[in-house]
A and B are shown apart, each in its own frame.
Chain A
């Protein structure tokens, strides 16, 4: 739609255009806040040159045909961030004590703490959401052929992220320490043990001994809240770096644009 031309106003009556750093003598509150913000950002940027990196990461060209399927990776990342934040606050109440304290602390969070049931529910159901999103994101990548050259390494990192997500699910399942958690972990550890040669030692490592013992729960807790989240965050960083560096693929139904000159040259 063509823009309607501005009505003819004598130049003397026109308001002068705003200039950065000079509000024509008047410094309102909004102007002051804006100026202050700009100078803080400038101060940081002058010393770090981060604005270039931010532009490189956020203002990328995306191919024609980019659609809602391309949000699945971000959705997975936000599921992870939600797990991280709710997990940190749940750790403020949780006690990895196998003699009854663990179950009691979970009961306390669920029944007594303000918003406890809600936040714990977010963490519990969010874990399933994250696993589902990982698989849907993976399927999108597979069916769009986005794992092909030069993005193979990103697929490999993604598979490691999938495995780490599974380890998170496995180690987190024990923490409520009810009957279901206990027996599911017994079965899960024994499934690990059926791997030939190294399986028995892997089981011993997971349990911290030959039987489910006094430190098994705290081992699972440490793996769940410290070891794996650190690895996950680092690898998500690498995953994102490669996405920004290599760009995204067009969906397979978008054909490359014909370059007329080349076709004529062929004929």
Chain B
């Protein structure tokens, strides 16, 4: 007896062998000998289907409500962080931007910004890379790294991740370079925009969470998500 027959036809086994005594024998109008769906079976099925529909009517919207944010993309924000002259070619300056407005300190993050230096920056030059904005979110598990100018390294306090000047991992557990932010110049102001992730060759990907490698099969094992798309 499978699940469907239990749900929709729970009495069929018991009554399959004997002739219907509820329909033909009782002269119920419309009944006929050999009918496969008796009134009893029909009513049982109807009651169960009605129960499933009623339960689905509140369970499905509730699930959709709870899982909805997984499919919703967040609008991109651009934030002015300083003037063009404020940033150096050989050292990062920390700036604080708001990722999520309305929740105070919890929605802010630190970004390390410097001017592009053709001598060291090998990633393709376009209008997004006139200034390099490196996220302080460690690519291991998301702790905030700090820039140590004397060592020219980003160092993570949690599990010992170390990154070089370009944000590529040179020690510890991180699986890919530090994320970056798109930058643009509006008039004399430098603006920092949405986040993107890079692989070890500094190729751009849509933002991934920390701990997700982007080299080899990594980009397929950790796919792009609807919540975090490239602009």
Task: Name A residues whose Cβ lies closer than 8 Å to a Cβ of B.
Answer: 98-100, 177, 182-183, 186-187, 189-191, 193-194, 196-197, 199-201, 203-205, 207-215
Task: Name B residues whose Cβ lies closer than 8 Å to a Cβ of A.
Answer: 66-67, 69-70, 72-74, 99-100, 102-107, 141-144, 158, 207-212, 221-223, 225, 227-228
List the count of A-B residue pairs having beta carbons below 8 Å apart: 91
Residues of B within 8 A of A204 (CB): 69-70, 225, 227
Query: Are B103 and A214 touching (Cβ within 8 A)?
Result: yes
A205 vs B221: C-alpha distance in the bound complex, in angstroms?
A: 18
Query: Are B209 and A203 touching (Cβ within 8 A)?
Result: yes
Q: A99-B103, A201-B70 are in contact. List 16 more A-B contacts (CB 8 A).
A: A177-B106, A186-B141, A193-B209, A193-B211, A193-B212, A194-B211, A196-B221, A197-B223, A199-B209, A200-B225, A204-B225, A205-B67, A209-B69, A209-B72, A214-B100, A214-B102
Interface of B is mostly: loop
A133 vs B225: C-alpha distance in the bound complex, in angstroms?
A: 39
Residues of B within 8 A of A186 (CB): 141-143
15 contacts between A and B (CB under 8 A): A98-B103, A183-B143, A187-B141, A189-B142, A190-B141, A191-B211, A193-B210, A193-B212, A197-B221, A197-B223, A199-B209, A200-B208, A213-B107, A214-B103, A215-B69
Residues of A within 8 A of B141 (CB): 186-187, 190-191
Nearest 9 Cβ contacts at the A-B interface: A210-B227, A210-B228, A194-B211, A193-B209, A196-B221, A98-B103, A99-B104, A208-B69, A187-B141
A243 vs B217: C-alpha distance in the bound complex, in angstroms?
A: 47
Query: Are B106 and A212 touching (Cβ within 8 A)?
Result: yes
A214 vs B208: C-alpha distance in the bound complex, in angstroms?
A: 20
Residues of B within 8 A of A196 (CB): 221-222
Known pairs A187-B158, A190-B141; A210 contacts B221 (CB<8 A)? no
Most buried by B among A100, A182, A193, A205: A193
Within the complex, the shortest CB–CB distance from A175 to chain B, in Å, comes to: 13
Most buried by A among B72, B104, B211: B211
Query: Are A99 and B227 touching (Cβ within 8 A)?
Result: no
A199 vs B221: C-alpha distance in the bound complex, in angstroms?
A: 9
Query: Are A211 and B210 touching (Cβ within 8 A)?
Result: no
Contact of A200 among B67, B100, B104, B223 (CB under 8 A): B223
Within the complex, the shortest CB–CB distance from B158 to chain A, in Å, comes to: 7
